[in-house]
Amino acid sequence: MATYPRNLQYTREHEWARIENDVIRVGITAYAVEQLGDVTLVDMPAPGEDVQAHERFGDIESVKTVSELFAPVSGEVVEVNADLESSPELVNENPYEEGWLVIIRPSDQAELEGLMDAAKYEEYLGTLDG
Amino acid sequence: MPIQYEGIKKEHEAVRTRAGLFDVSHMGEILVEGPQAVAAIDRLVTNDVSKLATGKALYTVCCNEQGYILDDLIVYRLEDEKILVVCNASNRDKIVGHFAKNLSLGTPWNDVSDAWALLALQGPNAVAVMKDLGAPTSLLELPYFSVTRTSVAGVDLWAARTGYTGEDGFELFCGSEDAVTVWRALLEAGQAHGLQPVGLGARDTLRLEARLMLYGNDITEETHPLEAGLGWVVKFGAGDFVGRDALRAIKAAGLERKLVGFEMVGRGIARHGYPIVARGEAVGEVTSGSPGPTVGRNIGLGYVPLALAKVGTALGIEIRGKVVDAVVVRTPFYKR
């Protein structure tokens, strides 16, 4: 199994979150990328919109399928990765850097406590089929 | 057959620009033999098998009495009195049952689906790969939709110039026990030609770009060949066939809807089952939709009322509650 970056937090829906001062940057994990295959379109909220923790905030499409994106925490979207509009394949190429999705300003810092660290996420993946 | 080996886009591109190898052994194969074989099959399919020369193949559909599509098939005349019918894996039991019911006792037939494997070598480099394997000129120069008995990698098999990708290529029918030998030999000879194993995902995007039908999506028992754009395989003037009277009546009454190709104008990907809307009203459903890796646009097929079937007609595709603009375009989306 791949090892996951130690500096990130993870959700059961296979998003990662990186705390950057008072905002968090969000993307999908290598596991999610592997499941999706070639990403062809990412549909995300506009900056200024609010998202709710563990609720759908957008969709990500690969050649074969559509998956929902879930917010790791509640808050306001402050930025979306505009590069993905013309180059959705960045998600495949580097899901933790150029392939990030959105930056959220959390409304409740306590929600961050509910995320998994890399070791816990890897353990969680071990419980999934395939 | 896996969804993908190394990625749908990569595999798709390999077939369009180099070569791809598919293990499509799941397809159904039925052998029909004897002096009545041609006439017997001719009665079960809409196309004219009576004019099919030995060594040639044709595409057809097989309809029920109501003229609706039970399956689409390729019929190969292997020998004067030996016909091979290739059907979709998901329809194998249905077609075998239909044949069993309709073929007379004097026409021996055999479902060889389990005993036979089917490997498809597709792409512009397919001939070069075969050449490196020492294939005879008769195979290298085999015309489109033809079939011949030959030997590949020391294995005797039936090789046809057919496929499901919109590219040049071969389909190889061999005994299941020989499939690994042939697969490995093709992979090895293909290395120098950029050959790549290809999964179901790219098989679907390749066939969609070429507007080849997917049974269960674009054609079903609720669709008939005339509205599916398959009128060219319905030969009313040839002998009688199951569904002919019904299809004549449908034709006389006039079509209500038609399968059209469309491409997305707005940002979005149409998928199977999404509603097609026009002026705020649902007018049809997407039967196939996905990104078209070679054409570089998001494309799809769907049935719309005749009045909306003209190239250039604006349509909307409802994608998760949001209507996204699309337009009817000429098909196939891709032509080599």
Helices (H) and strands (E) in chain B, counts: 8, 17
Minimal Cβ distance to A38: which of B9, B267, B320? B9
Chain A positions in Cβ-Cβ contact with residue B201 (cut-off 8 Å): 37, 63-64
**Closest Cα partner for B315 from B225, A108, B305, A24?**
B305
A66 in B contact zone (CB under 8 Å): yes
Cβ–Cβ gap A37/B3 under 8 Å: yes
Tokens of B306: 């005749």
Residues B230 and A4: their CA atoms lie apart, in Å, by 51
Q: What are phi and psi of B147, to 5 degrees?
A: -140, 145
Mean pLDDT rounded to a whole number for chain B: 97
> What is the tens place of the pLDDT at every residue in B136-164?
999 999 999 999 999 999 999 999 999 99
Residues B160 and B143: their CA atoms lie apart, in Å, by 9
CA B138 to chain centre: 25
Tokens of B84: 């091979």
CA of A109, closest CA in chain B: separation in Å? 31
Superfamily of chain region B256-336: Aminomethyltransferase beta-barrel domains (2.40.30.110)
CATH number listed for the domain at residues A9-126: 2.40.50.100
> What is the tens place of the pLDDT at every residue in A57-107?
999 999 989 999 999 999 999 999 999 999 999 999 999 999 999 999 999
Residues of chain B with CATH 3.30.1360.120: 8-206
The CATH classification of domain B8-206, taken from the options 3.40.50.410, 3.30.420.40, 3.40.50.300, 3.30.1360.120: 3.30.1360.120
Tell me how many residue pairs between chain A and chain B have CB atoms under 8 A apart: 38
> What is the tens place of the pLDDT at every residue in A22-61?
999 999 999 999 999 999 999 999 999 999 999 999 999 9
Residues of chain B with CATH 2.40.30.110: 256-336
Minimal Cβ distance to A38: which of B7, B204, B267? B7
Chain B positions in Cβ-Cβ contact with residue A37 (cut-off 8 Å): 3-4, 7-8, 201
Cβ–Cβ gap A63/B320 under 8 Å: no
Q: Using alpha carbons only, give the angle A112, A62, B118 rounded to the nearest 5 degrees.
A: 135
Q: Supply the pLDDT for residue A130.
A: 55
Mutation for testing the A interface, residue in B9, B298, B320, B324 having most A CBs under 10 Å: B9
Between the CA of residue A43 and those of A66, A90, B227, B255, what are the distances in Å? 10, 14, 34, 38
